[in-house]
Amino acid sequence: MRSQMPVFAMLLLVSCASAPSARSPLREALVNTGTSDVESAVRSCLMQNGWKVDDVGSYAGGSNVVTAYKAKDQTDVYIHAPDQKPRITGGPDDGNPFWKCLGGELAGGGASKDKPKDGAGDKTPSE
């Protein structure tokens, strides 16, 4: 029984962990955002953090999937329906700048400091 205590303690700790998208303030921003806007923000934040994002997403188990690559690493971000908790699963590890960027994008402030605030440099459809 004593030899099983460390295993039990580790399982208990893992079961208490929560997805980054299930924590405030990102959780609240996801509740009020449409799926296409969430997918757009996910793509933008992955690219800002050096990931090469597949142009075409996929659909798995009722969720939109955005796949991205960096060097030999691959990440899949699953965007679930607004009524599911957590709204986003997968993606880069917890603590990755992607999650902070995503919170900023969905809050409307954008997370990129080098992005012009006045819209300068934005391309219009006619360009």
pLDDT for res 107: 86
Amino acid occupying residue 84:
Q
Determine the structural domain holding residue 48 and report its residue range. 18-106
| In-domain check, residue 1 | no
Number of domains in the chain: 1
| In-domain check, residue 116 | no
Residue ranges, the chain, pLDDT below 70: 1-17, 109-127
Question: pLDDT for 10-29, tens place per residue?
Answer: 544 444 567 888 888 899 99
pLDDT for res 89: 95
User: What CATH number is given to the structural domain containing 46?
Assistant: 3.30.310
What is the pTM for the complete model shown?
0.72
| In-domain check, residue 125 | no
